[in-house]
Amino acid sequence: MKKVLHFASVALLGLLAWQAVVTFGDLPRFILPGPMLVFSTLWTSRMLIAEHAVVTITEVLIGLGLGATLGFASAILLVASPLARNLLRPMIVFSQAIPVFALAPILTLWLGYGLWSKVAMALLIIYFPVTSAFFDALMRTPVAWVELARVMNATPARILWCIRVPAAMPGFSSGLRLAAVYAPIGAIIGEWVGASRGLGYLMLLANGRAKIDLMFAALIVLAVLTLVLHAAVDAVCRRIWGG
Amino acid sequence: MSGAPALRLTGRVTIGGTAIFGPLSLEVPAGRWTCLLGPSGVGKSTLLRLFASLGDGVDFEGTVGASDNMPLAGRVALMAQSDLLMPWLDVTANVTLGARLRGTQQPRERALDILARVGLADHGTKRPDALSGGQRQRVALARTLMEDRPVILLDEPFSALDAQTRARMQELSAELLAGRTVLHVTHDAAEAARLGETVLLMTREGITPVASPPARVPRPYDSVETLAFQGRLLRQLMETV
Ligand SMILES: Nc1ncnc2c1ncn2[C@@H]1O[C@H](COP(=O)(O)OP(=O)(O)OP(=O)(O)O)[C@@H](O)[C@H]1O
Ligand SMILES: [Mg+2]
User: Would you list the DSSP string of B140-164?
Assistant: HHHHHHHT--SEEEEESTTTTS-HH
Domain membership of residue A94 (yes or no) is: yes
Average pLDDT (A187-216) is 92
**Whether residue A243 has pLDDT greater than 70:** no
Q: Is the CB of B6 under 6 A from ligand 1?
A: no
Q: Which residues of B touch A242 (CB under 8 A)?
A: 88
Q: Is the CB of B44 under 6 A from ligand 1?
A: yes
A16 falls within a domain: no
- Torsions phi, psi of B51, nearest 5? -70, -20
- A108: CA distance to ligand 1 center in Å? 61
Average pLDDT over residues B203-229: 92
Residue B1 has pLDDT above 60, yes or no: no
State the pLDDT at residue A32: 86
List the single residue in B74, B80, B147 with the smallest CB-CB distance to A144.
Answer: B80
Tell whether A55 is covered by a domain: yes
* pLDDT, position B239: 87
- The pLDDT of B107-127, averaged and rounded, is 94
Pinpoint the alpha helices (H) of B103-214: 108-117, 133-146, 163-176, 189-195
In whole angstroms, what is the distance from residue B115 CA to residue B146 CA? 10
Distance of alpha carbon B37 from alpha carbon B201, whole angstroms: 5
Q: Phi, psi at residue B223, to the nearest 5°? A: -80, 150
Cβ-Cβ contacts under 8 Å, A159 against chain B: 101
Whole-angstrom distance, CA of residue B55 vs CA of residue B28: 19
What pLDDT is stored for residue B77 in this prediction?
96
- A214 in a domain, yes or no? yes
Residue B140 has pLDDT above 70, yes or no: yes
> Which pairing describes strands B59-66 and B7-15: parallel, antiparallel, or unpaired?
antiparallel
Q: What ligand 1 atom has the least distance to the C-alpha of B44?
A: 21
Proportion of chain B above pLDDT 70, given as a percent: 99
- CA-CA-CA-CA torsion for B64, B68, B70, B74, nearest 10 degrees? -80
Q: Can you tell me the distance from the alpha carbon of B62 to that of B50, in angstroms, rounded to the nearest whole number?
A: 11
- CA–CA separation, A147 and A145 (whole Å): 5
B225 touches chain A (CB under 8 A): no
Residue B80 to residue A161: CA distance in whole angstroms: 22
C-alpha to C-alpha distance for A164 and A136, rounded to whole angstroms = 11
Q: Is the CB of B45 under 6 A from ligand 1?
A: yes
Long-range Cβ contact pairs of B100-109 (< 8 A, separation 24 or more): B100/A162, B101/A149, B101/A152, B101/A153, B101/A154, B101/A158, B101/A159, B101/A162, B101/A163, B102/A152, B102/A153, B102/A154, B102/A158, B103/A158, B107/B146
Write the CB contacts of A72 (distance below 8 Å, at least 6 apart in sequence).
A130, A134, A172
Q: Looking at ligand 1, which residue's alpha carbon is closest to its atom 24?
A: B40
Q: What pLDDT, in 10s, does the model give residues A63-86?
A: 999 999 999 999 999 999 999 999
**Chain B CB within 8 Å of residue A238 CB:** no
For ligand 1, atom 7: residue with the closest CA = B15
Distance of alpha carbon B88 from alpha carbon A241, whole angstroms? 7
Chain B residue whose CA is closest to A153: B74
Cα separation, A134 vs A169, whole angstroms: 7
Confidence check: pLDDT of A26 > 90: no
Q: What does the alpha-carbon distance between residue A221 and residue A224 come to, in Å, rounded to a whole number?
A: 5
Residue A234 lies in a domain: yes
pLDDT single digits (tens) A116-168: 999 999 999 999 999 999 999 999 999 999 999 999 999 999 999 999 999 99
Residue B20 Cβ inside 6 Å of ligand 1? The answer reads yes
How far does residue B151's CA lie from ligand 2's centre (Å)? 19
- What's the pLDDT at A29? 77
Ligand nearest to the CA of B188: 1
Rounded mean pLDDT of A172-181? 96
Across the range B99-124, mean pLDDT stands at 93
Contact yes or no for B54 and A166 at CB 8 A: no
pLDDT band at A102 (very low <50, low <70, confident <90, very high): confident
Q: B41 in ligand 1 pocket by Cβ < 6 Å?
A: yes
What are the sequence ranges of the domains in chain B? Answer: 7-75+151-240, 86-148
Could you give the 3-state DSSP secondary structure of residue B15?
Answer: strand
Atom of ligand 1 nearest to the CA of B57: 1
Does residue A60 lie within any of the structural domains? yes
So what's the pLDDT on residue B196? 95
How far is the C-alpha of B38 from the C-alpha of B48, rounded, in Å?
A: 13
B43 lines ligand 1 (CB under 6 A): yes
Q: Give the pLDDT score at B2.
A: 61
The continuous run of DSSP H or E covering B118 comes out as: none
- Find the mean pLDDT for residues B62-90: 94
Residues 164-183 of A with CB under 8 A from B: 166-167, 169
> Are B76 and B51 in contact, with CB atoms under 8 Å apart?
yes
Q: What integer is the mean pLDDT of B142-150?
A: 95
Neighbours of B84 (CB within 10 A): 20
Check residue B61 and give its pLDDT. 93
- Spatial contact of B217 and B188, defined as CB atoms under 8 Å apart: no
Question: Cβ of A159 under 8 Å from any chain B Cβ?
Answer: yes
Please answer yes or no on whether B98 and A159 come within 8 Å at the CB atom: no
Q: Give the mean model confidence (pLDDT) for residues A52-69.
A: 96
**Interface test mutation site (partner A, options B88, B106, B126, B154, max chain A beta carbons within 10 A):** B88
What's chain B's average pLDDT? 93
Q: How many domains does chain A have?
A: 1
CA–CA distance from A9 to each of A2, A3, A4, A14, B13 (Å)?
11, 10, 9, 9, 64
Distance between CA atoms of residues B53 and B42, nearest Å: 19
Our answer on whether the CB atom of B49 is closer than 6 Å to any ligand 1 atom is: no
The length of chain A in residues reads 243
Predicted TM-score (pTM) of this structure: 0.88
Residue A195's domain spans which residues? Answer: 32-241
Higher pLDDT, A94 or B49: B49
What's the CATH number where A108 sits? 1.10.3720.10
Worst-scoring range by mean pLDDT, A105-109, B120-124, B188-192, B195-199? A105-109
Q: What is the pLDDT of residue A226?
A: 96
CATH 3.40.50.2020 fits B7-75+151-240, yes or no: no
**Listed range (A22-31, A126-135, B167-176, B199-208) with the worst mean pLDDT:** A22-31
